[in-house]
Structure 1
Amino acid sequence: MIRWLQQRLMALLWLIVVLSVTLVALRQGPTFDTSLMALLPVTEQRPEISQAVDQLSADFSGQILLVVSADDRDTARQAVTMAAQRLQTLSDIARIDWQLNDSAEASNELYSFRFSVLSESVRSRLIAGQGQQQYQAALQQLFSPLSGRALDPIGDPFALYADLQMSRQSSLQITLEQGLFRLTASDKPAYLIRLDLHPDPFSLPIQQRVLAVVGPLDQALASLGAQLFRSGLIWHAAAGAQQAKSEISTIGVGSILGITLLILLVFRRFSALGSVLLPVLVGCLMAGAVTLLSFANIHLITLAFGAGLVGVSVDYALHFMCERQVQPADLVVKKLFAGLFLGLASSVIAYAGLALAPFPGLRQMAVFSVTGLIAAWLTVLLWLPLINRNTCHRALPSAAWLNRWRKGYPRLASQPLLMGGFSIVALISLMIIGQGQPQDDIRLLQTSSAELLNEDQQVQQLLGNSSSAAFILITANSVETVLQTEERLRSQLDEMVNSSELAGYQALSKMLPSRQRQIENSELASELYRQYLPELAKVLHFSETQLEATEAALRQGLSQPLTPSVWRHLATSEGWRQLLVSDSSGAAASVIRFTGTLNPALKAQLTLLADAESGVYWVDRVANITDLLSDYRQQIIQWLLVAYGVVIALLTVRYRYDLWRIILPPLMASLITFAALILSDGGYNLFNLIALMLVLGIGLDMGIFLYEAADSDHTWLAVSLSAITSLLAFGLLTFSQTPVLYHFGIIVLPGLCLVWLIAPLMRRSQSEIKE
């Protein structure tokens, strides 16, 4: 009686814990993450590099670029106007830029700085002492009715500002056409609409709002004869979220349906189905709640992977229900406790290995899985004995049938030839594995469709945008020093551009010259005026007053340098400000970004260029992440070996010389599966290795339960049912379009099949069991 009361009290306490944790998590509110960045390794680089990467990523992630194109200009202009009007419904969450008014278009913000900020062509002429050429070019523009530019003979007689305007426009692939942003690189009339999102683009409600507005635009513009092209991280995030949702339903619902049919087929009653699914439900509920409380949000890929938890957490309930067919509930717990505990410990060790990877998403999977397993295990021990206390059932026919099939298997211990065959297979597998090449490629995380990637790339090419994945970072103790360093580097970069090695680049100093460069430019402009203004004044028939006004304009202009604080507030700095990563006191940094494809030889040149300057770093984020994947792959290999060592040490204490019967099935299954993967794919990656941990954890459960139950027929039934449910859960991952999940499934599916097929070979003889 006292023991029964203790059981009820423990069950009540567990119920209180489950309800409390769940209610706290619900009060916080479930939030879901769709960002692929959550799957990337945490950077281990210098703080300046991390800050640059974060700033460039933040600028890119909130940006939506829409290009409206048509065969003729009028249709395109009508289409872009209609699109912009519809997008105004998003004005509360995004800034929408699609046109400039006349005053903004006609503004000459840099006119006051025309003597300190010179175009590269003018500066090169004046440095070479070719002031005469600038003088002749200015005369030609002043007297030519086709120059097309508003000139100021008094304030800018040598057309310095006109040259600056022309050089800056020619470096862009966007021009203003009657207030609209026309893309000059497009064969057809095409106009740009840009949206800057204020909220997080990975928020599901924000994605739904944007998609609800932009989605119907395709058909609306098509009816006008126009096309819409999109670029932006939000489209990839939304596609990934939709894919994850689909796979959650496929994997989770598929697993539940398969388990339901299997339980009803074997036990032939709905009460057994409830007892089996209850621990699964509690496990998933607690896993989601604890993960939410630990990370503030749950990644959808974590949920998709967590759906596979169904196939593992159901194992404990299946063992209880199968053994309950022939024994009272209290005795079942006593008989199974050692096996359940060791099975849980081995699985937790295997799943906890996910936390060693540098991916926040994988760490979430580890917390989700470990919490769910422990919660399901406690539910089986504390609730199922009470729920099934007064039920009694006879042995299951399927257990006897399945056991007869198992007994037809030979025993490995009594078959020397079979043992030799195992040794040969293991040796061959190890040789194949030794030839395998690691595939540490960041593209393993790519979830976007080829169509979406092509559309994104097409828009970026039309804009001539730079890639934020590879750049040069310049650091110094002031913005002035940063700009001077940039200007030294640009001379070599320009040589690469002129020789067609480099397609192009964006550098802050192109828009904001250093103070030193501005002083040099002012001196060059002063010398030009000193040598050629008298002659120009004669040609233009300047009066004495006009000549004095020209000289006064020069003096005034020379006293107005363009400072970073002034430049930052100019409209012309739009699109360039993100290149200035930091301008705090004592720490400044900027980035030089590159356009086009950077081949390995060019990357090597840029690396040498950066290494030649102190405080300058070449940053290739894709290469850095690939290196991190390589480093952590090696760490996972070490952890996998450590995990086997820890498990062997733990199990040796209990099983001693019979340890091989438990450890050999998952070990052989892992070797064969891994070798087969290398033969088919030619290599392996970090996620394949982590999946081997799952094969170890689940495979050990089989051996432990069979040994603890003395190879009873109902234990073998439970082990087989567990294997099938695990295959239903993890096997479905092989059909996933999410690379991370697919690389788990491609290992776990064949691995578990092999464990189940090899396990009967390890059984003991009747005499060994009696001993």
Structure 2
Amino acid sequence: MASNFAARANQALMQSSPKWRLAIWLLLMLSASLWTLQLWQNGARVQSDILAMLPHLQQDKLTERALNQVEATLADQVYIALVAKDETTAIAAAKLLMQKLEADLVARGKQGALTDIRSADMQLGEALGQFYFPHRFKLLTEPQAKALANQDIGSLIEAATAQLYNAFSYANSNLLAQDPLLLFPANLLTLAPSSKVRASQGILLANQGDNVAAVVMAKGRESAFNPNAQLAQMTALTQGLDAVKQSYPDITVLKAGALFHALAATQTAKSEISILGLASLLGVIALVWLAFRSVMPLLLAIVTISSGLLLAVTFTLSVFGELHLLTLVFGTSLIGIAIDYSFHFYCERLSDSERSAKATVAYIFPTVTLAFITSALAYVGIGLAPFPGMQQVAIFCAAGLLGAYLTLILAYPLLASSRLPEGSRPLALAGTYLASLTQLSKRFTTPLGMGMFALVILVWCLVGVTKLTVDDDIRHLQQSPASVTEPENQLRQLLSGGTDNQFLLVRAPNEEALLQQLERVSPMLDTAITNQELGNYVSLSRYLPSHQKQDTAYHLQGKIYQTQIDTVLTSLGLDENLKPELQAAYLAAKTDYITPAAFFTLGAGKQLAPLWLAPLWLAPNGKATDYGAINDGDTLNDDGASADQGADYGAIVLLGGIQQIDALKARFAHDGSVQLIDKVADISAVMGHYRLLTLKLLALALGIALLLFSLNFGFKKAAVVVAVPALAALLTLATLGLTGSPLSLFHALALILVFGIGIDYSLFFASAQNHGKAVMMAVFMSACSTLLAFGLLAFSQTQAIHYFGLTLSLGIGFTFLLSPLILTTTLALTTNQLLTTKKS
């Protein structure tokens, strides 16, 4: 059936005019060019965000919201530390940098690259004091609560007396009149997280050995992974830092933030695209020139590659609306694959110079078509991976192959009609190589020879595969250079470990239950810090005590204002007339609580609001809104908003300086209300799952190919054709094991391509008939161009691309060595059979 379809298609090709074919091809290329131009004008862009490549995790809605909140909170933040020998210089340098950044923001207005430029908020303590003071009867530190629970008013009176005689205390007559035991200042101090940093003159400071570091923070207006935004943000930063360096030349600058990682990734990708693409292109040009000694094959090779790249970009932008930089890096390998069709065409022309270009295309059409289909299906296999970036690679390369295939079928009959110079030498070399392989094959076609060959391959595969290890860590997708990571690590140490990507998600059915859960989790995290499992954490429990905790504090303070107020006033020498006012204020505070809704209206509260996840309410206009933080999460909005009553409340606890992630996970392993979200580990687990799935897909593809080729060649020959890439894949895995390279999803994806590309070689040799020299020359050139492309990818600084290129280089190399055996072994067996017949 397949052969009948190919025959009919081939006959239709022979009957069609080369001019009409060329006209159709030109129309297709023009349409693709105009459509691509339209897509660019409508906002298509180049994407460099490495996160855009990662698989989408299947999470419940609250977990997904938490992940989005953390990424939005931490993303696009820029941290600059100016390290000086003394505090005065550090502060002055930081103020100058902030002044320059703010001037740039004012000058550019809405086009300003960096916003929210800040260091320390000197008004923060005052604002918090004003907010919490009316709730002072609902607040107690642990020592205060313990003293009151033990009826130990005396210790609190002694502490208050000490404060009265302390020159640096918060005590004043106004405070004493409202808080005679001076309990509130201690509660206010507990709101400040323990940290190595301090503030002076509005600047955040930290000690670095004998030096002082002043920290300046800013937020990018646009994503740090947008190349244009990167340029604008780096320009603003560079100008500001240049001014600082001119005024304070001894200043050392430490930088941290996604901007610097994204910039390094962009520069690496651009460099690799330029170097690898240019090297691959030059290598292909040299191959074509050395083989055919003519300008026309060279020009048509460039046309074939260009048309492939054009359709690759067109299809990718049409499907995704953007083009990832890593797709372009992977896509440079397309140059080495798309040119294969041109090689096969011209090698057949060399072998039969009397045949026209139209006839040559018709001759190779069935094999080229089958090769295109199998290679395209291999790329579709890559597209089944849950990586948007790898899906782009699949679309990009499959569309690129389509462009090269259509160029061969439609443009070559007319454009490649000129005669070629004499090409006997390359064909003679190919023939000599085949003859040598045939002689070698004769030795192995005996039972003993075949047994020895099989034994060597079996031992190699068994030893190598048993030594294989796996590594699915997504951090291999992108590894920033030491020039980026080392300053960032130093700055993180200054900021008490900073904040990691892992965090806790605490959930509860209602607001009060959630606050109580947070209070239960905090002591566990304090213990983790003591055990050096964790450096620090940021939790709302520090700022939002539960109603239960506030009620407990209120009732404990009742011992002061209802039973011991006379003792307190007398002991501290305060006017007894304060008693009625204090008792009235205490009673009035009974129903007045600290609430999330009120706290999140503060400046500090707005910064911490992303850590609070109230159920999303659906307004009548259909817009989802987080009303939990506005209406206490338990009332409907006046305009008729409604919510999913089964939805959980959630809170994020940010973690920093994690030293023992497994120990932290173990602490909450049996607590269903607390979940340690580790996106890196989760995605790595998904990668491991899809690594296994991809290898199973490869086995399935081999089975389907065997069935498909059996329709054309019969089962025995089809089994040999499929056995070559299958054996090449096994030998590649064994070699990886023997060299100590761990197996990852990118190795598995590369093996899919080893099958897709390598099966082409087998197909051409299986269809070679009397044109073995032409096929050998074409396969040699094809393998060289593919090895140029993928071999160069093996030198990439990005480990994932390195793995991909290394595996493909090994796989294609083994396929090149094994595929001619389909022809030479057949010839050897035929010769042996003839000799045996003669003797008999």
> TM-score with structure 2 length normalisation?
0.86
2:542 aligned residue (489, 510, 513) = 510
Q: What residue number does 1:560 align with?
A: 592
Matched AA of 1:3: S
Matched AA of 1:765: L
- For residue 128 of structure 1, report the CA deviation from its aligned partner: 4.2
Matched, 1:3 2:34: no
Identity in percent: 27
2:493 aligned residue (458, 461, 465) = 461
Q: What CA distance in whole angstroms lies between the structure 2 residues aligned with 1:47 and 1:519?
A: 33
CA RMSD of aligned residues (A): 2.6
Matched, 1:423 2:454: yes
What does residue range 356-367 of structure 1 map to in structure 2 within 5 Å?
356-367=384-395
CA pair 329-495 structure 1, distance change in 2 beyond 3 A? closer
- For residue 149 of structure 1, report the CA deviation from its aligned partner: 6.3
CA pair 704-562 structure 1, distance change in 2 beyond 3 A? same
Q: What residue number does 1:472 align with?
A: 504
Q: What CA distance in whole angstroms lies between the structure 2 residues aligned with 1:150 and 1:741?
A: 66
What does residue range 202-601 of structure 1 map to in structure 2 within 5 Å?
202-215=225-238, 220-223=243-246, 224=248, 225-325=250-350, 326=353, 327-391=355-419, 393-410=421-438, 412=441, 415-416=445-446, 417-431=448-462, 432-465=464-497, 467-498=499-530, 502-573=534-605, 575-584=607-616, 585=643, 586=645, 587-599=648-660
2:65 aligned residue (51, 56, 73) = 51
- For residue 337 of structure 1, report the CA deviation from its aligned partner: 0.6
Q: What CA distance in whole angstroms lies between the structure 1 residues aligned with 2:209 and 2:543?
A: 25
Q: What residue number does 1:647 align with?
A: 705
CA pair 131-576 structure 1, distance change in 2 beyond 3 A? farther
CA pair 95-522 structure 1, distance change in 2 beyond 3 A? farther
Matched, 1:688 2:759: no
Is this contact kept in 1: 2:296–2:416, CA < 8 A?
no
Is this contact kept in 2: 1:259–1:725, CA < 8 A?
yes
Deviations 1:295-331 (A, max 9, x none): 1211101100001011001101121122234220111
Q: What residue number does 2:762 align with?
A: 703
Deviates more, 1:372-381 or 1:519-528: 519-528
Q: What CA distance in whole angstroms lies between the structure 1 residues aligned with 2:656 and 2:119?
A: 26
Q: What residue number does 1:34 align with?
A: 48
Matched AA of 1:639: L
Q: What CA distance in whole angstroms lies between the structure 2 residues aligned with 1:524 and 1:483?
A: 20
Q: What CA distance in whole angstroms lies between the structure 2 residues aligned with 1:106 and 1:705?
A: 80
SS of the equivalent of 1:145 reads: coil
CA pair 601-360 structure 1, distance change in 2 beyond 3 A? closer
Is this contact kept in 1: 2:196–2:494, CA < 8 A?
yes
Q: What CA distance in whole angstroms lies between the structure 2 residues aligned with 1:469 and 1:206?
A: 23
Deviates more, 1:239-248 or 1:190-199: 190-199
Deviations 1:127-150 (A, max 9, x none): 444333222211211222243666
Matched AA of 2:554: S
- For residue 61 of structure 1, report the CA deviation from its aligned partner: 1.1
Q: What CA distance in whole angstroms lies between the structure 2 residues aligned with 1:690 and 1:422?
A: 29
Q: What CA distance in whole angstroms lies between the structure 1 residues aligned with 2:56 and 2:202?
A: 43
CA pair 130-188 structure 1, distance change in 2 beyond 3 A? farther
Deviates more, 1:355-364 or 1:15-24: 15-24
2:793 aligned residue (724, 733, 756) = 733
Deviates more, 1:4-13 or 1:428-437: 4-13
Is this contact kept in 2: 1:336–1:708, CA < 8 A?
no
SS of the equivalent of 1:617 reads: strand
Q: What residue number does 2:116 align with?
A: 96
Is this contact kept in 2: 1:276–1:321, CA < 8 A?
no
- For residue 509 of structure 1, report the CA deviation from its aligned partner: 1.4
What does residue range 166-181 of structure 1 map to in structure 2 within 5 Å?
166-169=189-192, 171-181=194-204
Q: What residue number does 2:79 align with?
A: 65
SS of the equivalent of 1:513 reads: coil
Instruction: Give unpaired runs (5+ residues) of structure 1.
Output: none
Q: What CA distance in whole angstroms lies between the structure 2 residues aligned with 1:183 and 1:192?
A: 8
Deviates more, 1:581-590 or 1:719-728: 581-590
- For residue 735 of structure 1, report the CA deviation from its aligned partner: 0.7
What does residue range 136-151 of structure 1 map to in structure 2 within 5 Å?
136-147=158-169
- For residue 569 of structure 1, report the CA deviation from its aligned partner: 1.3
Q: What CA distance in whole angstroms lies between the structure 1 residues aligned with 2:276 and 2:694?
A: 26
SS of the equivalent of 2:71 reads: helix
2:152 aligned residue (120, 124, 130) = 130
Q: What residue number does 2:622 align with?
A: none
- For residue 9 of structure 1, report the CA deviation from its aligned partner: 5.0
Aligned residues: 767
Q: What residue number does 2:775 align with?
A: 715
Deviations 1:570-624 (A, max 9, x none): 123254323213354543111223333342551343233xx33x43323222322
Q: What CA distance in whole angstroms lies between the structure 2 residues aligned with 1:353 and 1:443?
A: 23
Deviates more, 1:195-204 or 1:728-737: 195-204
Is this contact kept in 2: 1:606–1:618, CA < 8 A?
no
CA pair 342-119 structure 1, distance change in 2 beyond 3 A? same
Matched AA of 1:444: H
Matched AA of 1:329: A
Q: What CA distance in whole angstroms lies between the structure 2 residues aligned with 1:134 and 1:605?
A: 39
Deviates more, 1:705-714 or 1:244-253: 705-714
Is this contact kept in 1: 2:138–2:554, CA < 8 A?
yes
Matched AA of 1:606: R
Deviations 1:412-465 (A, max 9, x none): 476234432431233123313134222222232232113322222222222125
Deviations 1:708-766 (A, max 9, x none): 23243222211111111111111101110011110011111122222222223221329
Deviates more, 1:738-747 or 1:491-500: 491-500
- For residue 18 of structure 1, report the CA deviation from its aligned partner: 2.7
Is this contact kept in 1: 2:137–2:557, CA < 8 A?
yes
Q: What CA distance in whole angstroms lies between the structure 1 residues aligned with 2:708 and 2:100?
A: 65
SS of the equivalent of 1:683 reads: coil
> TM-score with structure 1 length normalisation?
0.93
Matched AA of 1:427: L
Matched AA of 2:25: A
SS of the equivalent of 1:464 reads: coil
Q: What CA distance in whole angstroms lies between the structure 1 residues aligned with 2:470 and 2:398?
A: 28
CA pair 150-393 structure 1, distance change in 2 beyond 3 A? farther
Matched AA of 2:456: V
Matched AA of 1:579: L
Instruction: Give unpaired runs (5+ residues) of structure 2.
Output: 1-13, 107-111, 617-642, 835-840
